[in-house]
Amino acid sequence: MAAAVTAAEAGAKVLVLDEQPGPGGQIYRGIEAPGGAGDTVLGVEYHHGRTLSTALRNSGAGYLPGATVWQVSPQREIGVSVDGMARIITADAVIIATGAMERPFPVPGWTLPGVMSVGAAQIALKAHGLGAPDAVFVGTGPLLYLIAHQYVRAGIAVKAVLDTTPWHRYLTAAPYLPGALLASRQLLKGLGYMRAIRQAGVPFIKGVGSISIAGNGTADAIRYEKSGHLHELAADHIFVHQGVVPNVNLTRATGCDHLWNGAQECWRVVADTWGETSLAGIFAAGDATHIGGALAAEHEGRLAALAALTHTGRLDPSVRNNRGAPIHQALAREMRLRPFLDALFRPPKVHRVPADDATIVCRCEEVTAGDIRRTAALGCPGPNQLKSFCRAGMGPCQGRLCSLTVTEMLAEANNATPGAVGDYRRRPPVKPLTVGELAALAGPD
Amino acid sequence: MFTEITAADNSTNLAFTFEGRMIEARVGMTVAAALLAAGEVATRETPISGNPRGAYCLMGVCFECLVMIDGIANQQGCMVLVRDGMNVSRQLGVAVVSP
Amino acid sequence: MNADVIVIGGGMVGSALAFGLRGQGLDTLMLDEGDVAFRAARGNFGLVWVQSKGFDCPEYAAWTRRSADLWPDFSSEMTELTGVELQHQRPGGLHVCLSDGEFAARAAQMSRLHNHSGGEFRYEMLDRTALDGMAKGFGPEVVGGSYSPLDGHANPLYLLRALQAGYKACGGRKILDAHVSRITWRRGVYRLQTARGDMEAPKLVIAAGLGTKPLAAMLGLDTPINPLRGQILVTERCAPFLDLPLTLIRQTGEGSVLMGDSHEEVGFDDGTRWEVLAGIVARARRIFPFLDSARIVRSWGALRPYSPDGLPIYDRPPEGDGAFVASVHSGVTLAAIHASAMAEAIADGRLPDEVSVLKAERFHVH
């Protein structure tokens, strides 16, 4: 939204292609929806999204909802489908702001109906005013505390919050704390969430070790280890979270370079300080590039728009630099808390690489951890050979929910770093489209 | 089970059928959300083992919420807004593509 | 010595030859590159195909037929050894024609192939009525096609997996990320400088796909192999509707539908172009209009090695007398014969007589 407004205000012809039915992405999901939970529940930060969406509506930028982009070529030809009809749109500059997704949480039973991501709980709340009483929230990371806090504010009963942040993380994160104190407003907010959750009487269990989910056809209980003992809680809805990661399917399919981000244990798009990727005229901004949160995404959107305007000759580079300087500074301030958060909430290995061979890693193709290990033992140079041998990553989600797990497991098997092992090759279409839709784009024979 | 956190008002004015059952939904609700609100968590069977699955991410990434809508297979329920009179059923296994 | 024989290349050809050589009792070392090596093996359509091969080269047509005939036993042996199911079927194959002109041209090609095979190549030209007996749902423009009972298909990815697993199970050794930068020959030994150290062996097989040309050149053999791109698309899994492979469309054992392909000389660009993909699916749905509702989930540009006449290169570099070069376009179809007769010949220090016309010298204009 921020990028579109900046570009439109400079007089550029702008089109926003949004897969969702309304603006806001995921952080501000449902910001225009009448049925959402409202600001009292969701908080003042959420309300800020309305400033952006209003600006978008007033900016003169074109906004197309329900538009599924299935490809961006290096020559900036965008393949997009709306209402079952595909077309190709060419642009002088493209800004990819496809955001983040939840890191997978491969534990036994995670595929049982009733198990959902914390992000899903937030979408249900924000866009549809729906909550699941007596659910268990489990994992690590700021969003875990946020959703529990929002549930408490909404008066929805929370069965328990199980925090898997290992206690020693507080030690490893401590060196990053001095820098983070400058971002104390955010830190205090987070501490406030935890206090409010406890004060509401919600069982808040820290130092939770390995978890598994049980059920017959649907989820009905979560088992967790703490201090050497095994505990069980009955619940038909279990919300899991261990951080968000960039959704790299589109940037990879487009051909942009990526690097392994060791601090965040995921991939990041290679881009300059304005967000221009390794492909000229193609920019990336926000959590799609590396995780920085909502406000950082806004700043990056504006920077990318300024750079795109310069790239297309609408803005003088010196003007771009002048306008960009305060935004770069604001972005740097936003990112100050990141190293601390990344260190503190680094997901425990036990929930990134399943120890139990029966745990499903590739949900779409039902490929288990054991299958992955057996395939890796054949000597696979990377995830693509592994994928071709056992079908992990070949399902409809196109590797979104299994690629990080597979890369880490193969790195372990090959005694290499994830960065050296690599990632699945992504290819268009990054979202499915029908034969009929694509065929209609064909020219005369 | 998911329930509405605000009091129901008469903006619940859409209805669709799910496997013979009529389900009401508010304008602007996605099929996946409406199914969850109606207590339907297992909304497909996988093509490989027939295991039950249901919505996981609600944002179009996981492809677990696939359902059949008005005869068209493998629609992401979380990406489709409920329309009045829609006919939704579980996606049981693979799509059928035939003459 | 690091081995009796070093095979450079862990793709379809390298793996089949290495497996066969190991089966001949040779201590074999396979050198492979990284994950995104131009692995033609992973881009392959999966046809085990006879009817479109060797129109102008009876020897190649015969070699292909022989491999296709070996495939059923080869497939069961691989499954028995490794547990990997290759999904090989041989129901025959169809080449569908969308006009009378196409039909006439195809009929002429089939007749030619039949004649110069001494009748070994069997086929039928089927009119529309006959075609309707073979599969349902052909579109109104389909006029007929050529059918050969000798054609079939298999899963190329599982083929590679089985070859790798079988090779390993039989004691074959493999080193990954072993890019070869230099090869010399001296006193009966080939010496290789690789990214994983120096290696040597008295026998060498260069089967490195698109990497073959520079390697063969190190031993004095010019092999004009260039990448030819074929774009392919695959759909989500569908309920089975087509058990007969077509040249352009086949349904896999999982139910996904493959459609392809193009023939483009674009260098080492393995990307896809939307207009080419649109053209491929446009033709596919003219053949089967009901494919309109099938959802495409992936496309890729398969870069396959291509010689100027499209035929394999089997040759022996002049440096030393223990090196062999093998480069083909149809690695899946020829896998069976590579794993058997070709490997036996190489183990024996020679190339099979029936492929003597496929040396690189045929490209050298004197």
- Does residue C342 sit within a domain? yes
Same domain, C192 and C341: yes
Interchain proximity A427–C298, CB inside 8 Å = yes
Which two tokens mark C174? 């493999």
DSSP string spanning C151-191?
-EE--HHHHHHHHHHHHHHTT-EEESS--EEEEEEETTEEE
Residue C42 belongs to a domain with what CATH number?
3.50.50.60
Inter-chain contacts counted by CB atoms under 8 A, chains B and C: 40
Residues of B in contact with A123 (CB under 8 A): 33, 58-59, 78
Question: Chain C: residue nearest B98 by CA?
Answer: C290
pLDDT band, very low/low/confident/very high, at B8 (cuts 50, 70, 90): low
> What is the rounded distance in angstroms from the CA atom of residue C150 to the CA atom of residue C153?
10
> What is the rounded distance in angstroms from the CA atom of residue A131 to the CA atom of residue A158?
10
pLDDT tens string C16-49: 999 999 999 999 999 998 776 667 777 789 999 9
Same domain, C107 and C254: no
pLDDT above 60: residue A291: yes
- Does residue C171 sit within a domain? yes
Closest by CA position to A372, among listed A416, A401, A406: A406
Same domain, C75 and C167: yes
Averaged pLDDT for residues A269-273: 97
Number of domains in chain C: 3
Interchain proximity A130–B3, CB inside 8 Å = yes
Same domain, C72 and C192: yes
pLDDT tens string A112-165: 999 999 999 999 998 899 999 999 999 999 999 999 999 999 999 999 999 999
Averaged pLDDT for residues C186-212: 96
Crossing angle of the two packed helices A369-376 and A403-414, in degrees rounded to 10: 40
Q: Contact C304/C43 with Cβ under 8 angstroms?
A: yes
pLDDT band, very low/low/confident/very high, at A445 (cuts 50, 70, 90): low
pLDDT above 90: residue C9: yes
Instruction: Give the count of beta carbons closer than 10 Å to the beta carbon of residue C17.
Output: 28
pLDDT tens string A73-125: 999 999 999 999 999 999 999 999 999 999 999 999 999 999 999 999 999 99
User: Which residues have a Cβ under 8 Å from the Cβ of A192 and sit 6 or more positions away?
Assistant: none
pLDDT above 60: residue C168: yes
Q: What is the SS3 assignment for chain A? A: CHHHHHHHHCCCCCEEECCCCCCCCCCCCCCCCCCCCCHHHHCHHHHHHHHHHHHHHHCCCEEECCEEEEEECCCCEEEEEECCEEEEEECCCEEECCCEEECCCCCCCCCCCCEEEHHHHHHHHHHHCEECCCEEEEEECHHHHHHHHHHHHHCCCEEEEEECCCHHHHHHHHHHHHHHHCCHHHHHHHHHHHHHHHHCCCCEECCCCCEEEEECCCEEEEEEEECCEEEEEECCCEEEEECEEECCHHHHHHCCCEEEECCCCEEEECECCCCEECCCCEEECHHHCCCCCHHHHHHHHHHHHHHHHHHCCCCCHHHHHHHHHHHHHHHHHHHHHHHHHHHHCCCCHHHCCCCCCCCEEECCCCEEHHHHHHHHCCCCCCHHHHHHHHCCCCCCCCCCCCHHHHHHHHHHHHCCCHHHHCCCCCCCCCCCEEHHHHHCCCCCC
- Residue C294 is classified by DSSP as P
- Out of A113, A130, A364, the one facing B33 most closely (by C-beta) is A130
Pairing of strands A266-269, A282-284: unpaired
Same domain, C290 and C353: no
pLDDT above 80: residue C87: yes
Question: What burial class does residue C186 get, using C-beta atoms within 10 Å of its C-beta: 0-12 exposed, 13-18 middle, 19+ buried?
Answer: exposed
Using the 3D structure, point to which of C264, C291, C306 is the last residue of a domain.
Answer: C306
C104/A contact by beta carbon, under 8 A: no
Using the 3D structure, point to which of C149, C168, C184 is the last residue of a domain.
Answer: C149
Q: Contact A247/A431 with Cβ under 8 angstroms?
A: no
pLDDT computed for residue C76 by the predictor: 98
Residue C277 belongs to a domain with what CATH number?
3.30.9.10
pLDDT band, very low/low/confident/very high, at A191 (cuts 50, 70, 90): confident
pLDDT above 90: residue C323: yes
- Calculate the CA C38 to chain-centre distance: 14
Interchain proximity B95–C239, CB inside 8 Å = yes
Does ipTM come in above 0.90? yes
pLDDT band, very low/low/confident/very high, at A185 (cuts 50, 70, 90): confident
Which amino acid, C346? I
> What is the rounded distance in angstroms from the CA atom of residue A250 to the CA atom of residue A97?
10
pLDDT computed for residue A172 by the predictor: 85
- Does residue C296 sit within a domain? yes
pLDDT band, very low/low/confident/very high, at A47 (cuts 50, 70, 90): confident
> What is the rounded distance in angstroms from the CA atom of residue B43 to the CA atom of residue A236?
15
C290/B contact by beta carbon, under 8 A: yes
pLDDT above 90: residue A46: no
pLDDT computed for residue C298 by the predictor: 94
Mutate which: C131, C138, C235, C237, vs B, most B CBs within 10 A = C237
Interchain proximity B59–A114, CB inside 8 Å = no
Same domain, C238 and C298: yes
pLDDT above 90: residue C51: yes
pLDDT tens string A338-381: 999 999 999 999 999 999 999 999 999 999 999 999 999 988 98
- Does residue C87 sit within a domain? no
- Out of A389, A429, A439, the one facing C161 most closely (by C-beta) is A389
- Does residue C140 sit within a domain? yes
> What is the rounded distance in angstroms from the CA atom of residue A346 to the CA atom of residue A341?
8
Q: What are phi and psi of C180, to 5 degrees?
A: -95, 125
Same domain, C231 and C219: no
pLDDT computed for residue C44 by the predictor: 85
pLDDT above 90: residue C128: yes
Sheet holding C189-194, edge to edge: C180-186, C189-194, C197-201
Averaged pLDDT for residues C244-264: 95
Question: Chain A: residue nearest C30 by CA?
Answer: A379
pLDDT above 80: residue B10: no
Crossing angle of the two packed helices A403-414 and A383-390, in degrees rounded to 10: 110
Residues of B in contact with A20 (CB under 8 A): 59-60, 79
pLDDT band, very low/low/confident/very high, at C349 (cuts 50, 70, 90): very high
Same domain, C354 and C333: yes
> What is the rounded distance in angstroms from the CA atom of residue C94 to the CA atom of residue C105?
15
Instruction: Give the percent of chain A with pLDDT over 70.
Output: 98
Same domain, C181 and C65: yes
DSSP string spanning C24-52?
TT--EEEE---TTS--HHHH---EE--TT
Find chains touching chain A: ≥3 CB pairs under 8 Å.
B, C
A374/C contact by beta carbon, under 8 A: no
Residues paired with residue A116 on neighbouring β-strands, in sequence order: A239
- Does residue C132 sit within a domain? yes
Same domain, C201 and C172: yes
Averaged pLDDT for residues C148-169: 96
Interchain proximity A388–C294, CB inside 8 Å = no
Closest by CA position to C259, among listed C287, C224, C221: C287
Averaged pLDDT for residues A285-305: 96
pLDDT tens string A198-238: 999 999 999 999 999 999 999 999 999 999 999 999 999 99
Closest by CA position to A416, among listed C34, C31, C278: C34
Which two tokens mark A336? 């100050």
Averaged pLDDT for residues C97-112: 97
Q: Which of A131-145, A166-180, C250-264 has the lowest mean pLDDT?
A: A166-180
Closest-CA distance, C254 to chain B, in angstroms, reads: 9
Question: Chain C: residue nearest A387 by CA?
Answer: C157
Mutate which: C30, C35, C167, C231, vs A, most A CBs within 10 A = C35
Same domain, C204 and C231: no
Q: How high is the mean pLDDT of chain A?
A: 94
Tell me the pTM.
0.94
Using the 3D structure, point to which of C263, C280, C306 is the last residue of a domain.
Answer: C306
pLDDT computed for residue C42 by the predictor: 76
Q: Contact A77/B16 with Cβ under 8 angstroms?
A: no
SS3 assignment, position C124: strand
pLDDT tens string C88-98: 999 999 999 99
pLDDT band, very low/low/confident/very high, at A391 (cuts 50, 70, 90): very high
pLDDT above 70: residue B9: no
* Chain C (286-305) residues lying within 8 Å, Cβ to Cβ, of chain A: 291-300
Residues of B in contact with A244 (CB under 8 A): none
pLDDT tens string A6-25: 999 999 999 999 999 899 99
The domain containing residue C43 runs over which residues? 5-81+156-224+311-363
Closest by CA position to A380, among listed B26, C160, C98, C145: C160
The highest-confidence range among A73-82, A165-174, B20-29, by mean pLDDT, is A73-82
pLDDT computed for residue C316 by the predictor: 97
pLDDT band, very low/low/confident/very high, at A188 (cuts 50, 70, 90): confident
Q: How high is the mean pLDDT of chain C?
A: 95
pLDDT computed for residue A250 by the predictor: 98
Sheet holding C249-251, edge to edge: A433-434, C295-306, C226-235, C257-260, C249-251
Same domain, C175 and C291: no
Which amino acid, A166? P
- Does residue C235 sit within a domain? yes
- Does residue C63 sit within a domain? yes
Averaged pLDDT for residues C57-82: 97
